[in-house]
Chains A and B, each alone.
Chain A
Amino acid sequence: MAVVANELPKVRRSPTNTKIKRDTHSKRLARIGWAFSTPALLFVALVTIFPIGFSLALSLSNVSVTGNGFSLQGFTFSNYYELLNSSTWRYAMEFTVFYTIATVLVELILGTAIALILERLTKGRGPMMALLLLPWSMITVISAELWQYIYEGTYGVLQSMFSAVGLGSPVFLGSPTPAVVSMMVADIWKTTPFVAVIVVAGLVMLPSEVFEAAAVDGASSWTTFWRITFPLLRPTIAIAVLFRILQAFGLFDLPFVLTGGGPGTSTTSLALLSYKVMFQNIDYGPGAAVAVSATLLVIVGSLLFLRVFKAQVGKEELQ
């Protein structure tokens, strides 16, 4: 936008003088802007960049925790080497990646479907949106406690429902696959509304002309969705997916409350593993390395996603 604004005077008035004036003015404005935002930026840097930098420093040193504080000795890759040789880390990594892909995919499909319904609602969209946001607005620790009641193995709601229809008395959090699926359901229940709300916002912004043209051409609603709605929604979906990847990768509170990482270690995510290694084992070097590995993976995942997404948009534009 700034470029366009600077180019406008060229066309309209005597070019150079105004441009120089404007440039000086905008430069001054920019300087004032920086001056005003510096305290806030410094604060943000302090609470975000510093911990990341510190984690990185911890992960690349021999850290010993003593009564006198952390002591970081030397530069070493041994913490990362330890991770690569650890089956616990490998499993946590695979689990976190799998969990992220599976939940984000399901949330995307369900969220988009809910958004399409909401967009068509002529009455009561507001109250429906509010209801939809309830799970999302609930603190995960609390909703996880509620899911605990549902999944509980002796008096749980879900078990009673299963046994009422003759499906036995399964213990949902008792063995790996059901526990992972149960946790995913709890996650999808909570975060699908987030995707839906973002997609609804995208849907209402779409130009109505293209849909009218499609209707005139006799396109079916299926064709309209895949040929018009979905391609136009891509930027919105990209934002929703990016946010969800970032959050899903940090999976911590749900397994912390619901399963403690079990059964066995089947629901131990990278974040939970990092917590355990750092704060239970008091092993800060490898713990920080787990945290950094999670950060790296999420950055790579997000960049890959954006790349694929950009490539697709580029192709569309070429066609």
Chain B
Amino acid sequence: MKINSNNPEKKGRNKKCGEIVLTFASLALVLAACGSSSTASSNPPSASATSGNLTWWASPIAQVGIRADLISNFEKAYPKIHVTLQSAPTNTDTNRSQLVTEISGGSTSPDVFMGDVIWPAQFGAHGLAVPLSKYLPSSYFTKFAPGLVSGATYNGQVYGSPLFEDQGFLYYRKDLLAKANLPVPTTWSQLESESLTLEHDGLVQYGYVWEGASYEGLTCNFMEYLASAGGTVTNSTYTKANLTSPSAVKAVTFMRSLVTSGASPAAVTTFQEPQAMAVFDSGNAAFLRNWDYAWSNSQTPADSKVVGEVGVAPLPTFTGNSYPGYSNIGGWNLYINPHSKNLAIDLTFIKWMSSTAAQDILGKTYSEIPTVESVRLALASLSSTPPPLKIAAQTKLVPRPAGTPNYPALSSAIYSNVNSALSGSTSVNAALASAQSKAATALAGGI
């Protein structure tokens, strides 16, 4: 492998190799520079866009057929607009990486994409979405339920139009609570003690199941305990992390105690939504923390052994605070690709998706929580409305700290360290100290 520098032939070869490498490196740089293409025209879209084509990028929403139903109703309202559905990956991270690759590569398609509620800052900062507030009047945004628009705002611009919302709920077994003569828990410690009682009485194998694996869902769960304990992840300007605060310690100490006391199974540290839901639906847990869609799953006989036995309540809070506790905000927004050639049609589509007609389809037919406040309230008053939608109007909401473009790294600092504390591989204080230092790095843009 040694190179003999006196050998002219080898010298020549090395020179050639060097040239090849240089050629490719410069080719890479040239191609990278070529990546720059023109942005979407900043001309204001025409007011009456009622004909044309658009592609809508959306992952499958909890129930089959929602997307097609929405599209066909939209096309009925606007017969001259044709919408093509591009089915996106169900895994949110894969979904995002494909979008980032396409949009940063200058692709004009999709025109409109359905994206997570935690994307606005990241997409806004990288110019991967159109600031909707530039094109839609502020009155457009006043109809949404509180908190949703501020969650879609970055640097004073709104990037996403809320499509449907989701939040954490407490699902419980009505039959088990009745047998043990226990009330629906309103505090976390009550939830823990009732779980243990039900387990000790031999009524159920596990008490409370939730999402404790090292992934985004754990950040959602953590936010609910943290907000109940009165804490925040960062200061309001996202310059300083608060993860070693007494509130954070209280939150994680309680989460760990759920595992150590046996109220939650040790395997909860490996649970994502499907695992937690599977344990509850198979009748092996008394309480479940999950999103809106867990309701319809628990009431589907093919998937669930507990049909008709399930109740839904807002999440508990820590003792001494007013009930209910906080539910973390999830859900999806509609965004526009900055390279879209059909901005006016895109806006027509987005506006229709937040109309009463579309929001009614989402809520009434498919049990998704509407984002438009008036539709949500009207639904809550109907007797046929599924329980999570009724309760959604009463809950307190807490968003994830997604107002910074560095949110994914910040969230990773939270969930990986909280997960370590839950599994007992580090102490609560050590885990939070590590979370604090990693969060500080993340907020500064590091890895």
Contact = CB atoms under 8 A, between A and B. Distances in A.
Interface in B252-301: 265-267, 269-271, 275, 279, 284
A102 interface: no
B35 A69 contact: yes
B213 A262 contact: yes
B97 interface: yes
A67 interface: yes
Contacts of B423: 174-176, 263-264
Interface in B92-151: 93, 96-97, 100, 103-106, 122, 126-129
B32 A154 contact: no
A175 B424 contact: yes
A174 B27 contact: no
Nearest to B445: A283
B269 A174 contact: yes
B128 A261 contact: no
Nearest to B426: A264
Output the residue of A49, A169, A261, A264 with the most chain B CB within 10 A. A264
A173 B270 contact: yes
A260 B214 contact: yes
Given A262-B215, A263-B269, A57 B25 contact: yes
B408 interface: yes
B409 A281 contact: yes
Interface residues of A, number: 56
B31 interface: yes
Contacts of B409: 280-281, 283
Interface stretch (B46-54, B312-320, B413-421): B413-421
A153 interface: yes
B189 interface: no
Contacts of B122: 282
A174 B266 contact: yes
Nearest to A89: B447
A280 B408 contact: yes
Interface residues of B, number: 62
A264 B214 contact: yes
A171 interface: yes
Contacts of A58: 32
Given A68-B39, A281-B409, A262 B214 contact: yes
B214 A283 contact: no
B77 interface: no
A88 B418 CA distance: 15
Given A67-B39, A175-B423, A152 B267 contact: yes
Given A66-B126, A67-B128, A88-B438, A265 B214 contact: yes
A204 B99 CA distance: 52
B181 interface: no
A45 B338 contact: no
B425 interface: yes
Interface in B325-343: 338-339
A72 interface: yes
Nearest to B266: A171
A12 to B, nearest CB: 28
A56 B406 CA distance: 23
B321 interface: no
Contacts of A277: 447
A282 B24 contact: no
A151 to B, nearest CB: 8
A69 B214 contact: no
A9 interface: no
B341 to A, nearest CB: 14
Given A53-B21, A57-B25, A303-B1, A67 B338 contact: yes
Nearest to A55: B28
A278 B34 CA distance: 20
Contacts of B419: 262-264
A263 B104 contact: no
B127 A68 contact: yes
Interface in A34-51: 45, 49-50
B36 interface: yes
A279 interface: yes
Interface in B381-433: 405-406, 408-409, 412, 416-417, 419-420, 423-426
A14 interface: no
A69 to B, nearest CB: 3
A176 B126 contact: no
Interface string A252-274: 00000001111111100000010
B37 interface: yes
Contacts of A57: 25, 28-29, 32
A70 B438 contact: no
B246 interface: no
B416 A264 contact: yes
A135 interface: no
Nearest to B276: A154
A82 B424 CA distance: 29
Nearest to B417: A264
B34 to A, nearest CB: 8
Given A56-B25, A67-B127, A171-B269, 8 more contacts: A50-B24, A64-B126, A66-B104, A69-B36, A174-B266, A260-B215, A262-B419, A278-B97
Closest 7 CB pairs of A and B: A153-B267, A262-B214, A69-B35, A279-B97, A67-B127, A264-B420, A53-B24
8 contacts: A58-B32, A153-B270, A154-B284, A174-B266, A264-B423, A266-B425, A282-B100, A287-B447
Interface of A: 45, 49-50, 53-54, 56-58, 64-72, 82-83, 85-89, 152-154, 169, 171, 173-176, 259-266, 273, 276-283, 286-287, 290, 303, 306-307
Interface of B: 1, 21, 24-25, 27-29, 31-39, 93, 96-97, 100, 103-106, 122, 126-129, 206, 213-215, 265-267, 269-271, 275, 279, 284, 338-339, 405-406, 408-409, 412, 416-417, 419-420, 423-426, 438, 441, 445-447
